[in-house]
Amino acid sequence: MKLGNIKTMNTKEPFVITISREVGSGGHTVGKLLAEKLGTRYCDKLLVQTLQKQFGLSVNAIEKLKGEKKDWMADFIKKVSPMPSAQALGVNPKFSQEFRIDVTTDDIYKAEVEILKGVAEMGSCVIAGRSAFFVLKDHPNKVDVFITASKAHRVERIMKKQGLSEESALAIIEGVDEARENYTKRYAGVSRFDARNYDLVLNADGHTEEQLADLILSYIG
C-alpha cells in the first residue's frame, strides 16, 4: 500500500472516489463493493453505454478507439466497406441519425468529460477508470485510488474469469495496458502508472477484493 498526501474526505458531503486499475487486478469489483459499502452509485459501464448511444458504436469499438493515437474513423470505414451505411457498420438503427463519420478520439474524450462531470454533479459516487482522476481534478471532495497487481496475479485472474489460455490472457493485458496508457498520456499528459497521480495505491496480490475495498474505507475514515 502506498499513501500519497493524506487527504480528508467528508462522506457526509457529496464526494467522488475514482478507481484506476490495471486490467486483471480486480479493481472493477473493488469499486463496485466499495460503492455498495458506502451506499452510493458506481459508475463504469454506464459511461461507455452512454457513449455507445451517442456515437452508435459497439463497446469494443469505443474501447479500441480510446487507445488509438490518431483519428481512426477513416481507417475503420475502409476496413468495413468503401461507402458503408450506418447499418453496415453495425449501428443500431435507433441511433443511425446520430452516427457521424467524422467522430474522432477527441470527440469521445470530450463526451466522456461531459458525462463524468455530470455524474459528479449528481452527487456522491465511485467512478472506475475513464481518467476520472484527471478529469475531476478540481473536485473539492475527492480521493483517487490506483489498484495494481503483479503480472502473474493478473494473468491468473483473467484466465480463471474468462476461461482463457495464459497466452491469451497476456495478450489482453499488453493490449489494454498500451491502449489505456496512450489515452491517459494524450489527454492527461501523465502516465497512468505514476503513483503521484493518486492518493492511495494498493497492490492486489494476496488480498481479496473485499479486503481491498475495506482498506479504502479505512483510508477515507
Residue 17: which CATH number?
3.40.50.300
The pTM (predicted TM-score) of the whole model is: 0.77
115 domain residue, yes or no: no
pLDDT of residue 172: 94
Same domain for 28 and 76? no
Query: Residue 137 is which amino acid?
Result: K
Low-confidence ranges of the chain (pLDDT < 50): 72-101
C-alpha cell read off for 86:
450506418
Residue 203 forms part of a structural domain:
yes
Q: Are residues 157 and 84 in the same domain?
A: no
- Identify the bridge partners of residue 127 per DSSP, sorted by sequence position: 18, 43
- Count of domains observed in the chain: 2
Same domain, 148 and 205: yes
Same domain, 130 and 199: yes
pLDDT of residue 2: 55
By the 10 Å C-beta count (0-12 exposed, 13-18 middle, 19+ buried), 183 is classed as buried
pLDDT value for 90 = 37
Structural domain including 196 reads 2-43+124-220
Same domain (yes/no): 54, 139: no
Q: What is the pLDDT of residues 81-130, one digit of tens each?
A: 333 333 333 333 433 333 444 567 787 788 788 888 888 988 999 999 88
